[in-house]
Amino acid sequence: MTKEERQMKKREAILNGNMLRTILVISLPIVFYNICNYLYGIYDMMIVQVAHIGEAADVVVLDQIKNMIQTLGGAIATGGGILIAKRIGEKNIDGAKKASNTLFTMALIIASVTLLFIPFAVPFLKLLQTDQSTIDNALGYFNVQMGNLFIMTLNVAFIAIEKSKGNTFRIFILNLGVIAIKIGLTTLFAFGPFEGVTITWLALATMVAQGFMMIFMIILSILPSNILRITPKSLNLNKENVLIIVKLSLPVFIGRFLFHFGKVYLNSIATATYGKMVVGALGISNTMAGLPTNIINSFEDGGSTIVSQNYGNGNGKRIMNFYIVNMILVASISLISVIILFILKENVAGFFAGSDEEYKTIIVTIFKWECLDVFFTGLSGASNAIFYGFGKTRITSVMSMVNLFGFRLPTLMILMYGVKMNYEACGIAMFVSNTLAGIITFSLCLLFMIRIKKNQKYETLFVKRDIGSVVAG
């Protein structure tokens, strides 16, 4: 069996295997990867409080800004992954290899640009109306996170390439090393024989762990046995591939960037109106809801690969089968998560708040609203797997902007300044926006699938159309 035949076995399973098993095999390693990242984020927040090395609110605010900047690299990886997966579905391996090298070249350029935020950190943070105490206390943390972004931008490109082949188990294995290094270093820094430990050290632990993944990803990518091999000579900015990736990625970037910018802006409003304690509670509430959200996002990522490959292969019936099975699976996970989170909200809030009863009350008040929208977030995630797989990234971008500017900010302003509500307004605003966005996204996806079924063109679905020409549709 040739190396191409061995690596194409995943393709055959995606195109012809049992659907439920295919979804689980592709998505579960991504679930584990995202949960590990989620858990060491929780561990960081716990260490900050237990070891008294900083304020959780500072970490929350600066991580939101980091996530906003990170959207560009993530969007490029999403667009590139869609293109590569489609070409693998078409069995166009040479085209997929060229697209992989173009994606990595673009990621390398974007990663280098992120380093420019370091010398301009203070004016940039002030431009975003970041609290001065946060800048004074955690500027070093922010600068290290920008260096970490350089590494993570390359890593998400590598992950997108592996995911497009359905090779998610490799991501799972590498992440075992990442989580071990991250937790080990964080624990050593916080409780070891060191003086003057700050939250900057926690960011440094993350950088070292992500650097481990980057080194191994580079080694795996340049191996001759890799059908999508990346080498210095093969790096390129092929005009056709760049244009397609940009067309696919730009709507994703705009939607995600504005959404994260809105969260940064919301934090600044909440800080000015309710104080830093409420911002910390908002971050903890997001963290508490992060477990099911990360699972949902994992099925969204894995599902888009399945859709893209079948899309490239013109297999419309199988995409319809995926839609039904994946929607039932994700909706079930989301519903169970809502029930568990609502029952355990007091216990989990107590874990983060410790003996501070006022802080615990604020967390529970906000979180009781946020956990109720998890089910609708699941509907949105399952729908986005379809949209991403078909290259309909404009839809997801528009919905991100509608969520923020159409629902969340107006609801918050009405409750904050019209009704004069207390900090509970933050939780209600998230519930209203995520619920409405989930219902609308699910409805759009359902209509999209009904339209495809009515066309009755399963065997020729998009086979003669390049993904770049479909984006505008």
Of 48 and 377, the structure prediction assigns the larger pLDDT to: 377
pLDDT (mean) for 409-419:
88
pLDDT at 22: 87
pLDDT at 463 over 70: no
Tokens encoding 83: 């293109």
Per-residue pLDDT, 328: 93
Mean local confidence (pLDDT), 129-140: 83
Side chain identity, residue 312: G
Query: Which comes out higher in pLDDT, residue 292 or 52?
Result: 292
55 in helix, strand or coil?
Answer: coil
Confidence of residue 100 (pLDDT cuts 50, 70, 90): very high
Model confidence pLDDT, tens digit, residues 223-241: 888 888 888 888 889 899 9
Q: Is 193 in a helix, a strand, or coil?
A: coil
Distance CA 17, CA 26 (A): 12
Mean of pLDDT values over 46-52: 73
Question: Which parts of 300-424 are beta strand (E)?
Answer: none
Which residues, other chains included, contact 78 with Cβ-Cβ below 8 Å and sequence gap of 6+?
160, 248, 249, 252, 388, 393
Q: What is the per-residue pLDDT for 8?
A: 63
Q: Coil, helix or strand for 227?
A: coil
Q: What one-character-per-residue DSSP string does 243-295 give?
A: HHHHHHHHHHHHHHHHHHHHHHHHHHHHHHHH-HHHHHHHHHHHHHTHHHHHH
More confident residue, 169 or 415: 415
Confidence at residue 3, expressed as pLDDT on a 0 to 100 scale: 54
- Judged against a pLDDT cut of 70, whether residue 105 lies above it is answered with yes
pLDDT at 64 over 80: no
pLDDT at 367: 86
pLDDT in tens, 317-343: 888 899 999 999 999 998 998 888 888
In angstroms, rounded to a whole number, what is the distance separating the alpha carbons of residues 309 and 389?
8
Distances (CA, A) of 435 to 375, 376, 404, 442: 8, 5, 12, 11
User: Do 335 and 33 form a contact (C-beta atoms < 8 A)?
Assistant: no
What pLDDT, on the 0 to 100 scale, is given for residue 5? 58
- What percent of the chain lies above the pLDDT cut of 90? 18
pLDDT band at 131 (very low <50, low <70, confident <90, very high): confident
User: Between residues 114 and 269, which one has the greater pLDDT?
Assistant: 114
* Residue closest to 161 by CA, chosen among 249, 98, 119, 238: 98
For residue range 240-290, what is the model confidence (pLDDT) as tens digits? 999 999 988 888 788 778 777 777 777 777 777 777 778 778 777 777 777
pLDDT of res. 455: 66
In sequence order, the 6+-apart residues with CB closer than 8 A to the CB of 392 are: 386, 448, 471, 473
Choose the most confident range, by mean pLDDT, from 287-301, 353-367, 434-448: 434-448
Q: How confident is the model at residue 465 (pLDDT cuts 50, 70, 90)?
A: very low
Hey, what are 270's tokens? 């909440």
Average pLDDT over all residues of the chain: 82
In this predicted structure, which of 213-222, 354-363, 425-434 has the lowest mean pLDDT? 354-363
Distance CA(276)–CA(267), nearest Å, equals 9
Residue keyed to tokens 């999209």: 448
| Predicted local confidence at residue 7, as pLDDT | 58
Q: Mean pLDDT check: name the lowest of 32-36, 180-184, 438-442, 454-458.
A: 454-458
- Looking at residue 309, its amino acid is Q
- Using alpha carbons only, what angle is made at residue 292 by residues 287 and 294, rounded to the nearest 5 degrees? 75
